[in-house]
Chain A
Amino acid sequence: MAKVLMKGNEALGEAAIRAGCRYFFGYPITPQSELPHYLAWRLPEVGGVFLQAESEIAAINMVYGAAGSGARAMTSSSSPGVSLKMEGISYIAGAELPCVIVNMQRGGPGLGGIQPGQSDYFQAVKGGGHGDYKLLVLAPASVQEMVDTMAKAFELADKYRNPVMILGDGILGQMMEPVELPEMKDVETLPVKPWATTGAKERTPNIINSLFLDPEELEAHNLKLQAKYEQMIQEETMAESYQTDDAEIVVVGYGSSARVAKAAVDQARAEGIKAGLFRPITLFPFPKKEIEQACRQAKNVLTVEMSLGQLVEDVRYNLEFRVPVHFYGRVGGMVPTTRAVLTEIKRLTQGGEKA
């Protein structure tokens, strides 16, 4: 199929439709608005429903209802809106329903700004809402990868009956790149969901629920969820390792930061520094084996983030503190520059001033 030039947010929308999603519920917020703008005309064209809700709280609860009644449903937002969705996300995880949530992160905290950020890493990866639950968190780094990630997200959501978050940022949402779109999935061929609330015709009623008043039952439910998360850790990690075979310094970043880091790694290599890039694509489950492999020669590791040190904690933890892990980040909508990352790489490999 021929490539087309598309904006990240719009490509995500088209990819969702091609993955068989017919229901979108959302509330406007910058910098993800092109996604709802696109779906507002595109979904009706394929017989789907686009609904602008009264709030992010309502939107995620509409997704909760639609997912519970068997549909591939999604919502998207950006940082402040995603915070509002946390209650609903916890219920969806608790009730074990599949759905996709997009967060095109911007700078925080509070109203923050409207420029790109990556400071919702903890919220996405460590929980965010109440209770012991996990989202599968996918972090694409190009428009093409966003398209591919969307199909994967719905697949994983159905496989695990678990909400999946696509954690992007304002840059990825806004930028244009050529993409190859997948074939349109026939919605008739999507996995059947015998547990869904579709009307109890000639069967016993289905109940979608996250309430277990008996502590023993609630503990058993939690352990069942944990077993699912354990299976994700075993089976679903994804990462990119670039020039890491002989790397003495490995730069780690996800999403837009990883693109900057990659350019810095290329420049470092051009100057004879053995630098490599490790880019987690799944943030939960974190690709532990992959990062250990990528960093096996490393004397230093450097994370590059658009936050003030969130990913760095998981990198240290997953490398079991065997290698010094350093951090470089910009926030508030400021983006790390290749030059600054290169300066850090040089400082760590050759000594010198901090960027």
Chain B
Amino acid sequence: MITVFERPQSLTPAKTHYCPGCTHGIIHRLVAEVIDELGVREETIGVAPVGCSVLAYNYFNMDMHEAAHGRAPAVATGIKRVHPDKVVFTYQGDGDLAAIGTAEIIHAAARGEKITTIFVNNAIYGMTGGQMAPTTLIGQEATTAPSGRNAETQGYPIRMSEILATLDGAAYITRVSVHNPQEVAKAKKAIKTAFEMQLAGKGFSLVEVLSTCPTNWSLTPLKALKWLQENMIPYYPLGVKKALEEVKV
């Protein structure tokens, strides 16, 4: 018998708490597969954020450190400076990374910390009940923007990858999506490149993954994937924003 599909070693058998159709699960799996393929599970320390993925430490089968909301890049910096030979990654939502933790991510990137960040952008605060995120699109409804985000009073969504790509310490910054199998395959390749950048000691690497939140978008999982494609990608264009060496994704 040949095994064609199995759980990556880097994931525990725990059942996740994610809502049906939420793409957090896919992204977890991609990260785990990449860590397996690179053979670094026993060398890796992950930093779990505050957000829907706050329990990631129960799902990743490796040493994990839970961090306060937004502070994962600082915690990861502390770990990496003590263990420069280990692989350190953070897994952060858009509220976590682009609002409360903006200073930490910008400065980790500017310092060229040799860590990898998986940035899950679902344009909403998932965990706390669908409030407006810094990445919520103009016109998009949120519990704290009941008639849709209004640029006049609530400003504009932030494109974090483009901002981070301007920093010299960043080695690899890219935006991917997971709304269809082709994009999932590309996302995995990008995540692998990001970890390889860290292993090669090139500097800070980040993969922004456009992700769905069917629950707080009030859409079925399928409609959510379509909404992502039609609304998020035009504002958040996919592709490599910065790569120290020629990298094709």
Contacts and interface: CB of A to CB of B under 8 A. Distances in A.
A63 interface: yes
A211 B66 contact: yes
Interface stretch (A54-62, A222-230, A297-305, A318-326): A54-62
A44 interface: no
Interface stretch (B54-62, B116-124, B157-165, B228-236): B54-62
A88 B101 CA distance: 13
A110 B31 CA distance: 44
B28 interface: no
A202 interface: yes
B79 A69 contact: yes
Interface in B190-247: none
A159 interface: no
Contacts of A206: 63-64
Contacts of A58: 71, 74, 77, 103-104, 107
A65 B47 contact: yes
A55 B103 contact: yes
Given A65-B75, A88-B68, A199 B63 contact: yes
Interface SS, B side: helix
Interface string A183-216: 0000000000000011111100111111100000
A232 interface: no
Contacts of A64: 67, 71, 74-75, 78
B78 A65 contact: yes
A121 interface: no
Given A51-B81, A201-B42, A65 B65 contact: yes
Given A61-B75, A197-B79, A209 B66 contact: yes
Contact of B86 (A198, A202, A211): A198
A205 B63 contact: yes
A58 B70 CA distance: 10
Contacts of B47: 65
Contacts, number: 128
Given A198-B63, A207-B63, A65 B42 contact: no
A88 B104 CA distance: 13
A49 interface: yes
Interface residues of B, number: 34
A53 interface: yes
Contacts of A201: 42-43
A177 interface: no
A54 B111 CA distance: 10
Given A197-B64, A199-B63, A209-B57, A65 B103 contact: no
A73 B78 contact: yes
Contacts of A199: 42-45, 62-63, 83, 86
B47 to A, nearest CB: 7
A254 interface: no
Nearest to B84: A49
A197 B67 contact: no
A23 B81 contact: yes
Interface string A77-99: 00000000001100100010000
B170 interface: no
Contact of A23 (B60, B68, B78): B78
Contacts of B79: 65-66, 68-69, 197
B77 A51 contact: yes
B63 A65 contact: no
A200 B54 CA distance: 20
A211 B79 CA distance: 19
A207 B75 contact: no
A69 B83 contact: yes
5 closest A-B pairs (Cβ-Cβ)?
A: A65-B78, A61-B74, A66-B78, A65-B75, A62-B78
Interface of B: 41-45, 47, 54-55, 57, 60-68, 71, 74-83, 86, 103-104, 106-107
Given A88-B68, A201-B43, 20 more contacts: A23-B78, A49-B81, A51-B77, A57-B103, A62-B75, A64-B74, A65-B78, A65-B82, A66-B78, A69-B65, A71-B82, A95-B66, A198-B63, A199-B44, A199-B63, A200-B41, A200-B62, A205-B62, A205-B63, A209-B65
